[in-house]
Amino acid sequence: MNKLFTGIATIALVGAVVAGATVAFYNDTETSTGNVFTAGSIDLKVDHLKQIYNDVECKTCDVLIDSDTSTQVVEKDGVSVGPYNAYEAPEPSSWVDEFNDAHWIWGEEGQPDGSDRTEYRFRDTFTWYGPISGVTLDFSLSGDDNYTVYLNETQIAQNNSGAVWQNLHSVSGFENEIDQGVNTIEFVVKNTGGYWAGLIYEMTIDGNCEDDYFKNHCSLFGEKDLDDNDQFFMFDDVKPGDLGINVISLHVYDNDAYACLITHDETNNENGVQESEGDDTDAEGELQNYLELFVWQDDDYDGEWDHTSELEFGTSTISNLGTVPVFAGENNYLSATSTAYVGIAWCAGDIEVTENNGDITCDGHGMENDAQSDIYSASLTAYAEQVRNNTGFLCSPDLLID
């Protein structure tokens, strides 16, 4: 009898222990979720806004844009899409086809069905630098069915008569809408019925550069990441007394950054010894010794040194340029979203800068015969590095060494 009660008591005690473990005390919990460290970034862009050579300004010689599969489709029925490349449209024999390179395009593949009423917006771009007055413009287009044309968001043409695809239409009087730099042209085309739909256009602008070598070989470009085709200097017949001026700008985004222009990878090629060079037998050319530079902070990017307000970085031969610090305003760096403009004047001979009025001239008498036929080449790199936690930064060619 006693053993039985003892066993029951033991079981009850164990049960009490288990029950006690489920009793909750007052508590509270606060959790911070999704903690992330993201590395910052610096995005550097460069543009080449102005170039002058012996008082001749670089400008766009001609522009040709036409419809093909590189034209971008950006809207369908008023809703943004893509952008993606246009498709070549099926062409019945009765459609106009009077261009050499332009093609009928549409925003989808194949032939639309009879109930199709789709409207597409197409986009193309072109770049223009220099005067627009006096140039020759030729712009023709056709669309199936209705179209409206916008240049830099201004309407320059419209035809809502329907079934206008059988004829080319000319557009004129839009010269004042062309901007310096990149221009955007858009075409809104609606298929109002039937089985065919498409757009065809071609625009040419002739800047009348004639045979001017410099105008046909110089290069200006807007804000971009540089590639192998972006040269600031390209001259193949330098003579004593030649004077050139370039304006280069640097733009930095996302974070403040120190910025530099760094000259590197220089080569000096004798390119054969001319009889007039005398007894010159050096393995390297001498041209670099006669190319002098004057560099300044060209705040108004006009290619002229304002000696009263614009900082002078100094005068040097091209081979001794090394690095140039680039900044805007009173800081010695570029703040995020800011732009700095650098003027670079070069002279084949002795460069002369007049302190009282900022005039820049070139005296070619300092250039000797031993430079004849020589070739000098170099790379010019725009470099940016963070400001934060980076005291003691100095521009140096060593920055480009891994």
pLDDT at site 160: 84
* Mean pLDDT of the 213-220 span: 88
Work out the number of other CB atoms within 10 angstroms of the CB of residue 389. Answer: 5
Check pLDDT > 70 for residue 105. Answer: yes
Per-residue confidence band for 177, with pLDDT thresholds at 50, 70 and 90: very high
Instruction: State the Cα–Cα distance between residues 213 and 209, nearest whole angstrom.
Output: 9
* Stronger pLDDT, 269 or 66, i.e. the higher one: 66
- Whether 128 has a pLDDT exceeding 80, the answer reads yes
Instruction: Indicate the pLDDT class of residue 11, thresholds 50, 70 and 90.
Output: very low
Whether 199 and 147 have beta carbons less than 8 Å apart is answered as yes
**What pLDDT is recorded for position 6?**
36
Confidence at residue 319, expressed as pLDDT on a 0 to 100 scale: 72
Looking at the predicted structure, is the pLDDT value of residue 153 above 80?
yes
Instruction: Tell me how far apart the alpha carbons of residues 78 and 117 are, in angstroms, rounded to a whole number.
Output: 13
Residue 8 is predicted with a pLDDT of: 34
Q: What's the confidence (pLDDT) of residue 351?
A: 93
Q: What pLDDT score was predicted for residue 85?
A: 97
User: What pLDDT shows up at residue 157?
Assistant: 94
- 106: nearest Cα among 144, 79, 139, 140: 144
Give me the mean pLDDT over the 235-253 stretch: 92
Who wins on pLDDT, 75 or 145? 75
Confidence of residue 204 (pLDDT cuts 50, 70, 90): very high
What pLDDT digit, counting tens, does each position of 312-356 carry?
888 888 877 778 888 876 778 998 888 899 999 999 999 999 888
Q: How far is CA 254 from CA 251, 331, 385, 387, 392, in A?
A: 10, 17, 12, 12, 21
Give me the residue spans of the domains in the chain.
60-206, 213-400
What is the CATH number assigned to the segment(s) 60-206? 2.60.120.260
* Structure confidence at residue 280 as a pLDDT band (50, 70, 90): low
Query: Is the CB of residue 249 less than 8 Å from the CB of residue 301?
Result: yes
Name the DSSP letter for residue 278: T
